[in-house]
Structure 1
Amino acid sequence: MSDAEAARALAEGHLVILPTETVYGLAADAGNAVAVAAIFEAKGRPRFNPLIAHVADAVQAEAIAVFDARARALAEAFWPGPLTIVAPVRDRDRVCDLARAGLDSVAVRVPGHARARAVIAAFGGPVVAPSANRSGRPSPTTFADAVEETGAFAAAALDGGDCAVGVESTVVSVLDGRVSLLRPGSVTREEIEAVVGPLDRDGEGHRSPGRMALHYAPDAPVRIDVVEPRPDEILLGFGPGVGALRWSLSPSGDLREAAANLFRRLREADREQPAGIAVSPIPAQGLGEAINDRLRRAAGFVG
């Protein structure tokens, strides 16, 4: 299917599996409450969890959100790319109440994947596109996994190759004169602070997607920070000489490689139906903050 055909499907109220650089999304017209409700139904997603409005450029972003100078600075520094900005909503019709979970703020980003931007530009407005998995499951980072998870609910599915980043976008709020990190991702805390200065420590996490306690979870129970796995567990290793190479998140100990492999390895391990999945310790600095956040949620802890 072409990008123009996918845009027409969105305009007709259908769902579309859309590639982004972070994970594959299940997309719908952000202003169509019926289409947005279909996403919640397909995913089995709690309705109080807000969705991200994906737009083609910063002009579209400021049509639906009120940006101050710091929000603009972040957009200029990191868009297109894996950063979501939560700001006061400007146009409540273009991003419906259901998509915003009834909040007076809206989460918005310009994806780094060229095909995603092309579809959104052809559609002509914001598109919500939460990860194309059933709620709580590991996010799909390959086309095949996305189709396996929610393909039955989509009128179209676009193959954009494997996702380059592999974890969902960093989410920051720019509200009431404060900038807070709501969800870590591949744009790190340090990179954000280099643009806007020290972050406020009292962010409102309910304004961000992906903040459920049990999230990104396979069927098998997950244990984290494991040095000695149990005999009946699969160990997802990190670093030289840790575990079987087949299951390693990064044999060299590279955090970006580990992030790109994280959800794929969780899915592959889960297909083996082990008694459990153990994960080696991951350093907490830089991108490791985002990886550990996803792992804590997969293990059932609030991060």
Structure 2
Amino acid sequence: MQTRRLDPSDAGLATAAEILRDGGRVAFPTETVYGLGADARQEAAVAGIYAAKGRPSFNPLIVHLPDLEAAGQVAEVTPLAERLAGAFWPGALTLVLPLRAGAGISPLVTAGLDTVAIRVPAHPVARALLEAFGGPVAAPSANPSGQVSPTRADHVLQGLDGRIEAVLDGGACPVGVESTIVSLIGDAPRLLRPGGVTLEALEAALGQPVPEGGPAGAQPTAPGQLASHYAPEAAVRLNVTEPGAEEIWLGFGPECAGALLSLSETGDLGEAAAALFHALRAVDALAEGRGIAVAPVPEIGLGRAINDRLRRAAAPRD
């Protein structure tokens, strides 16, 4: 299979939408990372996502939609969901909600659960593709499962060239870490994955604390809940202020003058989030048998999402 690289012109978007209608897979940019999209209603198309990524079949996918009205056709949108949607959609927030009966979503998207993860992206190319296609698009990150997420079209092709039909090249993703995932199943909201919308912003919008994590031992209800994920080939060690002789140092902040690369030399968390996956790919390519040592990143704001991805990148692998 030859993977086509499409520009986000009217012609490129029309071609991408036609590929989706025909059951194919198209990688496209969102404000967070590139997603690997397929028609969420076509069983074979969704199976193609799993096949291209080598993704565990028990790990659900996020359904991307153009607006809240379309979301209501897929999920039971609660008053709490409407409040969060009003505050953060379109944007980097995914909500896990009860699946609407008769929604027509493939069970492969929800991993057989009676809940569904949905998002309305803000990136203009993603929104134009959803409009051109006219249906729900299931899309995890456009990379082999467990590896570093892509924030540029080149990253997509490094992992999936020849395994998918096309990639829409919309340039670098501005946020650079995946969406925040909040479950609205049960009595209170729960943060399942930190991401582009900070915990502080969520709690301010809701006027209440948002505890982290789902029930212990529960099957994943949304992406990004596996212990080992976003992993480069090299071993990763975290919170390092003095790297070893056989380690490449990935810095953060002005105290890391000796680092080979830095997430942000000024200590800006937004800059660090946008650079994270590209920097992990870059140091991994340079490692050549050495490990990767990562400087401490504060556990506040976007730092929660950055540290979440780093901990999963450093986790023991099967």
| TM-score grouping bracket, smaller chain normalisation | over 0.9
Matched, 1:293 2:308: yes
TM-score of the two chains, using structure 2 as the length reference: 0.91
Matched, 1:199 2:210: yes
Structure 2 unaligned blocks of 5 or more: 1-5, 7-11
Aligned equivalents of 1:180, 1:254: Cα separation in 2? 27
2:170 equivalent among 152, 157, 160: 160
2:70 equivalent among 60, 67, 72: 60
Note the C-alpha offset of 1:291: 0.5
User: Structure 1 residues 207, 261: closer, same or farther in 2, change over 3 A?
Assistant: same
Residue identity over aligned pairs, in percent, reads 52
Secondary structure, aligned partner of 1:217: coil
User: Structure 1 residues 37, 16: closer, same or farther in 2, change over 3 A?
Assistant: same
Alignment of 1:144-183 (within 5 A): 144-183=154-193
Aligned equivalents of 1:199, 1:116: Cα separation in 2? 29
Matched, 1:129 2:145: no
Matched, 1:237 2:251: yes
User: Structure 1 residues 201, 39: closer, same or farther in 2, change over 3 A?
Assistant: closer
Specify the code of the residue in structure 2 equivalent to 1:37: A
Note the C-alpha offset of 1:177: 3.2
- In the alignment, is the contact (CA less than 8 A) between 1:166 and 1:261 conserved in 2? yes
Aligned residues: 302
- In the alignment, is the contact (CA less than 8 A) between 1:236 and 1:243 conserved in 2? no
Q: What does residue 270 of structure 1 align with? A: 284
Aligned equivalents of 1:103, 1:29: Cα separation in 2? 18
More off after superposition, 240-249 vs 261-270: 240-249
More off after superposition, 138-147 vs 266-275: 266-275
Aligned equivalents of 2:120, 2:230: Cα separation in 1? 23
Secondary structure, aligned partner of 1:94: coil
Specify the code of the residue in structure 2 equivalent to 1:270: D
Structure 1 unaligned blocks of 5 or more: none
Aligned equivalents of 1:91, 1:33: Cα separation in 2? 17
Alignment of 1:98-137 (within 5 A): 98-137=108-147
Matched, 1:260 2:270: no
Aligned equivalents of 1:228, 1:161: Cα separation in 2? 35
